[in-house]
Amino acid sequence: MDEPISPGDRPALDRSPGFSESAPPAALPRPPAERSLRRWLGSPLALAPLILLGIVVAVLAIASEGQNFGLSFWGPVWEFIPTDPAGSTYGIALFALGTAITAGVALLLASGLSLAIAITLTTYLPPRTSRILTTLTDLLAGIPSVVYGIWGFVVLAPYFASSLEPNLRNALGWLPGFGGPESAIGGGTGLLLGIFILTLMVIPLTTAVMRESLRSVPREVVEAGLALGATPWEVVRRVRLRVARRGLWGAVFLGFGRAIGESVALAMVLGNTIQYPPSIYGGSYTIASFIFTQLDSAFFYPELLRALVEFALVILLITIAFNLLGQRAVSGVRTRTVPGAGGRA
């Protein structure tokens, strides 16, 4: 009977019957009674992340004090009257629209760009160049949100206001949304700048996950494709993309979770105006940026505070949902610690 040669072949001395050559790193062997007790006792420690998560959710739930805002919470009107907080309408739709537009468009752009970059990194570049570019992309992931924000506000916004937006309006003004007035504040802040910055912030994350997804396609499959005479591009299109599809979708989900949670940079470049933006140049809020800017004034109005925590719970639930979807999709991919993989804002 032929025994398969295992990578860790050792001299015949260790080879006794009953030893599995390819045993996965199992837990430490211990007498059964002690094993169960010790392991389960230590579980709270291992579950620390779960416990922390539970504490956060519990505190938020308590903060809302069970207040049900009813149907108007999902309505389109946000009208906060400082002299009559109880009679104000707290509608989330305006901000949800802002979140949907900014995150949605940013993800669309980022996914396409990231896919192109990831394919280039894994297939078309020599390893040394690939590694340099990878390091630079990861560096982009590490840049704080405020720095993106101040760069967007001070450097990009004037450029947007003076050159980009007038040019866009001339060229594409006939498209709905592209011909409208300047933002109420002016100065280049608004949806366009917000989407631009958000796309930049998401790209490093999605690129990293897509890159690792493409890389973890088994070599044998790629080589089989090449052996059958496929060009590198055909191998990418027909083999790699197909095999890595789950991981690529995982990248999109994770990126979406990140985009939804972004608050600080958007609070700086989105031209904070409570309005349904009349055009792509108009300003607005997202759920996250609104919470971020309003939390201090909410100190004086408990109803506003409670409304904001409901906002926070909405984002939290959506983020958790997309995070879980992303985790399930990516579970087959061996990733290093992906930098920036999380809802950092």
Cβ nearer to another protein, comparing 179 with 187: 187
Cβ nearer to another protein, comparing 277 with 343: 343
Closest contact distance (angstroms) between CB of 27 and another protein is: 7
* Residue 49 identity (one-letter amino acid): P
- Burial annotation 286-316 (CB, 10 A radius, 16+ → b, else e): bbbbbbbbbeeebeebebbbbbbbbbbebbb
283 close to 271: Cβ distance less than 8 angstroms:
yes
Cβ nearer to another protein, comparing 137 with 213: 137
Q: Which long-range contacts (CB under 8 A, 24 or more apart) does 333-337 make?
A: 333/209, 333/212, 333/213, 333/216, 333/244, 333/247, 333/250, 334/212, 334/216, 335/208, 335/209, 335/212, 336/212
Cβ nearer to another protein, comparing 47 with 172: 47
Contacts of 303 (CB under 8 A, 6+ apart): 85, 86, 88, 90
Closest contact distance (angstroms) between CB of 75 and another protein is: 22
Closest contact distance (angstroms) between CB of 147 and another protein is: 5
Closest contact distance (angstroms) between CB of 177 and another protein is: 24
Closest contact distance (angstroms) between CB of 50 and another protein is: 4
Closest contact distance (angstroms) between CB of 72 and another protein is: 22
Residue 38's CB is within 10 A of a number of other CB atoms, namely: 11
100: tokens are 């949907």
Distance CA 261, CA 264 (A): 9
Cβ nearer to another protein, comparing 30 with 175: 30
Nearest one of 244, 239, 218, 151 to 189, comparing CA atoms: 151
Closest contact distance (angstroms) between CB of 174 and another protein is: 27
Cβ nearer to another protein, comparing 137 with 279: 137
Closest contact distance (angstroms) between CB of 251 and another protein is: 14
Cβ nearer to another protein, comparing 211 with 277: 211
Closest contact distance (angstroms) between CB of 225 and another protein is: 16
Cβ nearer to another protein, comparing 164 with 320: 320
Cβ nearer to another protein, comparing 40 with 174: 40
330 close to 250: Cβ distance less than 8 angstroms:
yes
